[in-house]
Amino acid sequence: MLADTPAQKDRVFLILTGVWLFTALFLFGNPVILDYLHPPKFVLLGEENRSNARPYLGILAVLGLAYVLGFSRLAKPRLRLPTGVPRWLAWLPAAWLGWQLLSLLQTENPVTSQATVIHFASCLAAFYLGLFVLGRMHLAKLALWGAALGLLLNLADACVEKFGGLEQTRDSIIAEIESGKLDPEKVSAKARESTRTIPPEIEKQIATLPRETAAKVRQLPLELVKRIYSTRLYGHMFYPNALAGVILLLLPISIALLLGQGRWLVPRYAIALGLAAVGLACLYWSGSKSGWLIAIVLLGTWFLHWPLSKKVKLGLAGAAMVLGLAGFAVKYADYFDRGATSVSARFGYWRAATQTAMEEPLLGTGPGTFQLAYKRYRPPDAEPTRLTHNDYLQQASDSGWPGFAMYTVFIGGSAWLLARRRMDEALQIAARLGLLAWALQGCVEFGLYIPALAWPAWLMLGWLLALPPNRFDKSTATE
C-alpha cells in the first residue's frame, strides 16, 4: 500500500503538505474577502461564471488530509507543546479565532465574515500543523519545497509579464473591446466604484488608440485601466505588492533549500545565485516601495548572522541600510514629488479603522467588513477599499480591540521569542528572515487575507517555534 510503514506515511504527509503549499501559490493569490471565489487575473473583468469555489474547497480538503495523517503520526498523540514554547503563546491564536467567531455573530456582512472566518480557521490549522507535526519530523524541510516551487512559478510568470506578457494581455483586452466580446458597460459594478480620473500618463497612451476604442477603454473601471497600462509585475498574485510579499517570505528559504543539499555544489550555488538575482529583479519590477524597504531590513539582519566581529557586522548592516535607502530615494523621488498618494491613502484607511474601533471597541463590525466601515469615514475624493492595508489595525476595526490585542501580541510575542533564539542552520535563519518580512509587511498590506501568503507563513511560524531551542535536543521527533 501507499502508506504501510511509518516512513511511507511521513512521505505521504510531506507530499500532501507540499502540494497544498504549491497550489496555494498557484491558485489562491486573491484576498478571500475580495471576490475570493474567482481567479485573481479575472476578478476585475467581472467574469462571475469562472467560480474558484471547488478548487478552494478542494485544497482545504488536501489540508484536512494532511492534518489527519500528520497528527496520526505523532509518537505521543496528546498535544504536548514543544520545548521552549510558552503555553499562552501556543493557544493565543485559538483564543483569537474564538473572538472572531463572537464578532461573526453580530457582523454587518455575514457572507464576507463567514468566508473570512473559514480562512482564519485554515490559517490556524496550518499553524498547529507546523507546531505539533512538522516541527517533529526530521525531513520537515521537504514540505517547504512545495512553497519554493510555487515561488518559482510566480517568478517565471512575472518574467513573462516583464518581457512582453503585460503588453500582450493589454492588446488582448483591447482586441476583445474592439470585437464586442468585452462590453465595458457590463463590467462588474463592484469594480466600477471610483471617483478619480485616469492618470495623465495613462491617458496619453489611451489617446493613441482609435477614437471609438479609446472611448470604450475610458468606460472601464479605473482600477482595471490602471492594471492594463501598468508596468508593475504581479505573477499569480492579486497585485504587485502581494508578489513582493511572496518573494520576501519565500526567497530566503528557497535559496537555503538549494544550498542545503549534499551534492553538486557548483551547480547548486549557480542556481541559487540565479534565483536570487531573478527574485530581487522581480521585487524591483513589482514597484513595491514597502517591499524595497523591507528587503533592506532583511539584508541588514542577514549581515548580523555572519561569523564576523560585531563591529564588522554592524558596519556591513549599516552600509546596506544607507545604500538601500539612497537607492530608494533616487528611484522614488518623482513619486514623493507627486504627493505619495498611496501613502496618504493608507493613512486615511488607518484613521478610519481606528475610528471604527473606537465606536465598536468590543466586537468591531465583523471579520472582513472594513469596506462597510470605511464608507462612513471616506473623504469624498478618496478611493474606495475593502481592506485596511494593515493586518493589525484591521483586527481592531473588524473584531474590536480584544481581537487587535490578541493578534498583535501573538505575532509580536512569536517574533520576540524567535529573535532571542540562536539559530545556526541556514534554513532556520532563512525562515526567520522570511517571517520577519511577512510580519513587517502586515503593517502596510493585507497578507493575512491572501491564502498564498498566509498559509505558508502560519505553517512556517508553527514549524520554527517547534524546533528545539537547543539544536542537540531531538526529543520532539516523531521517530
Q: What angle do CA 24, 29, 31 make, to 5 degrees?
A: 115
Q: Which of 205, 251, 207, 209 lies closest to 231, judged by CA?
A: 205
Q: How confident is the model at residue 80 (pLDDT cuts 50, 70, 90)?
A: confident
> Mind listing the pLDDT tens digit for each residue in 452-468?
999 999 999 999 999 88
pLDDT higher than 50, residue 43: no
Residue holding cell 498564498? 452
Q: Which alpha helices (DSSP H) does 286-390 contain, by range?
A: 289-303, 310-331, 333-337, 341-359, 370-375
Mean pLDDT in residue range 351-371: 94
pLDDT at 438: 97
* Nine cell digits for residue 417: 521569542
Q: Which alpha helices (DSSP H) does 77-139 contain, by range?
A: 87-104, 110-132
DSSP state, 107? -
CB burial readout 44-75, b (16+ within 10 A) else e: bbbeeeeebeeebeebbebbebbbebbeebee
85: three-class secondary structure by DSSP: coil
pLDDT at 339: 66
HSE-CB of 410 using CA atoms within 13 angstroms: 24
**Are 235 and 158 within 8 A, CB to CB?**
yes
For 257, 326, 429, the CA distances from 302, given in Å and listed in that order, are: 16, 19, 8
> Mind listing the pLDDT tens digit for each residue in 155-208?
999 999 888 888 888 888 888 888 877 777 666 554 555 556 777 888 888 888
For 192, 205, 210, 227, 322, the CA distances from 217, given in Å and listed in that order, are: 13, 11, 10, 12, 43
DSSP-derived secondary structure for 38-84: S-GGGGGGT-TTS--HHHHHHHHHHHHHHHHHHHHT-SS-S-PPPTT
> Which of 43-52, 53-62, 275-284: highest mean pLDDT?
275-284
**Are 241 and 290 within 8 A, CB to CB?**
yes
The rounded distance, in Å, linking the Cα atoms of 114 and 101 is: 9
The rounded distance, in Å, linking the Cα atoms of 355 and 54 is: 38
**Are 460 and 130 within 8 A, CB to CB?**
yes
Q: What angle do CA 410, 396, 99 make, to 5 degrees?
A: 65
**Are 40 and 240 within 8 A, CB to CB?**
no
Chain CA centroid to CA 170, Å: 26
Q: How confident is the model at residue 325 (pLDDT cuts 50, 70, 90)?
A: confident
* Nine cell digits for residue 207: 489617446
What's the mean per-residue pLDDT of the chain? 84
The rounded distance, in Å, linking the Cα atoms of 30 and 8 is: 34
The rounded distance, in Å, linking the Cα atoms of 161 and 163 is: 6
Chain CA centroid to CA 23, Å: 14
H or E element in which residue 307 lies = none
297: three-class secondary structure by DSSP: helix
pLDDT at 451: 93
Q: Which of 224, 236, 240, 235 lies closest to 174, judged by CA?
A: 224
> Hey, how many other C-beta atoms are within 10 angstroms of the C-beta on 380?
5
* Nine cell digits for residue 1: 500500500
pLDDT higher than 60, residue 416: yes
Q: Which of 8, 96, 137, 246 lies closest to 238, judged by CA?
A: 246
387: three-class secondary structure by DSSP: coil
Residue holding cell 509518537? 75
End-to-end CA distance of the chain: 21
Sign of the alpha-carbon torsion through 102, 105, 106, 112? positive
* Nine cell digits for residue 276: 536570487
Sign of the alpha-carbon torsion through 287, 32, 94, 146? negative
> Mind listing the pLDDT tens digit for each residue in 210-243?
888 888 888 877 777 877 888 888 888 888 999 9
pTM reported for the whole predicted model: 0.90
Q: How confident is the model at residue 101 (pLDDT cuts 50, 70, 90)?
A: very high
Mean pLDDT in residue range 149-156: 95
